[in-house]
Amino acid sequence: METLEAGKKIILFDGVCNLCNSSVQFVIKRDKKDIFRFASLQSEVGQRMLKERSIDSAQTDSIVLIEPNVAYYTRSSAAIEIAKEIGGLWSLLSVFNYILPESIRDSIYNFIAKNRYKWFGKKENCPLPTNEQKKKFIEQSN
């Protein structure tokens, strides 16, 4: 795996999900501080990162945010942490950390995740990043 620069955070996402891929594009467009790096959950590097953190990929199949050597977040907590990092009005989503228990946030998140293929569709393969976006994606090196 390529070496990750200090201060970067990794978003693992479902690479065949149209909603997830649109979300990645949304984050890339708003990542003005160049904090995020990406890998699909289906990739070798994504699977390795899940295994290193003892995350069951059968239970977590849509989003994981990893702050190397600090913490990792799943489901709604990952989405809220990403929104806080993007900043601006998106950081206001962090209020849900305080007004809704994680179990309720994750129930809503899980409902959307469970229906994401039906509502938004899916691809047969992970789409390839543009040349400009390639530096933001973590790849397995040979």
Residue 9, pLDDT > 80, answer yes
Alpha-carbon separation of residue 66 from 51, 63, 75 (angstroms): 13, 10, 12
- List the structure tokens of 132: 């400009």
pLDDT tens digits along 80-91: 999 999 988 888
What is the per-residue pLDDT across 10-28, written as a single tens digit (0 to 9) for each? 999 998 889 998 999 999 9
By residue count, the chain amounts to 142
Residue 45 has pLDDT above 70, yes or no: yes
122-138 average pLDDT score? 79
